[in-house]
Structure 1
Amino acid sequence: MDVRERVGWNVRRLRVEKGMSQDHLAYAAEIERAYVGYLERGKRNATLTTLEKVAKVLGHDVSEFFAIPPKDAEPIAPLNPGRRKG
């Protein structure tokens, strides 16, 4: 797993733990919704400014995005479909 995939895995993990949709995260962090998807899939290099915005919305420090996932970590399951609060 390269660093972009690691950051993406952790962004998705923290977002799902918070029960937040990609749409809500994007809106609250003032970034494009599609960019959140690219970021979570490790397809984009995020700037430190963008990571800081995302971390603030998720209530974590930027350093949390660089945590190494456990070796036996499963892919993060998506949230249930449909409308959600927040």
Structure 2
Amino acid sequence: MEANTKQLAKRLGERIRTLRMDKGLSQEQLGELSGLHTNYVGQIERGEKNLTIESLSKIARSLGIPLEQLFHSVDPLGPETELGRIVMLLSERPVADHSLVLALMKTVFSWEEEKRK
């Protein structure tokens, strides 16, 4: 695998792991639900495998999410930008934390606006 492809596979694997754990599923359970071997699921999550669309579709269906949600935050702006780093940090957190972070950001921005007045 090319370096960029390896990095993308690693980030996608991390995203799948986060979503799986958010659903309270083990690798074995995700494997059963998706019809994929448990070892293959582990390799995907470690970024060792280049996924097919079919496998991605099976995983998304098993997680109960649309296929495109697998790619949310995988490579939004690139890790070299501050916004990209923020998105990467957030993508590594459980989905439940996203609402908390959004509320916190809104509060901080509102506070900053009030301070300027």
TM-score, normalised by the number of residues in structure 2: 0.58
61, 64, 67: which one pairs with 1:62? 67
Aligned to 1:26: 31
Shift of 1:48: 0.3
User: How many angstroms apart in 2 are the aligned matches of 1:41 and 1:30?
Assistant: 19
User: How many angstroms apart in 1 are the aligned matches of 2:54 and 2:89?
Assistant: 31
Shift of 1:13: 0.7
Query: Which structure shows the higher helix fraction?
Result: 2
Q: Is the alpha carbon distance of 1:30 and 1:6 closer, same or farther for their aligned partners in structure 2, counting shifts above 3 Å?
A: same
3, 10, 13: which one pairs with 2:18? 13
Question: Which structure has the higher relative contact order (CA within 8 Å, separation 6+)?
Answer: 1
Alpha carbons 1:8, 1:42 under 8 Å: kept: yes
User: How many angstroms apart in 2 are the aligned matches of 1:30 and 1:71?
Assistant: 29
Shift of 1:71: 3.6
Shift of 1:9: 1.1
Q: Is the alpha carbon distance of 1:74 and 1:52 closer, same or farther for their aligned partners in structure 2, counting shifts above 3 Å?
A: closer
Aligned to 1:72: 89
The secondary structure found in structure 1 opposite 2:58 is helix
The secondary structure found in structure 2 opposite 1:72 is helix
Segments of structure 2 that go 5 or more residues without pairing to the other structure are 75-86, 94-117
TM-score, normalised by the number of residues in structure 1: 0.77
Segments of structure 1 that go 5 or more residues without pairing to the other structure are 77-86
User: How many angstroms apart in 1 are the aligned matches of 2:30 and 2:69?
Assistant: 16
User: How many angstroms apart in 1 are the aligned matches of 2:68 and 2:32?
Assistant: 22
User: How many angstroms apart in 2 are the aligned matches of 1:60 and 1:68?
Assistant: 15
User: How many angstroms apart in 2 are the aligned matches of 1:5 and 1:67?
Assistant: 14
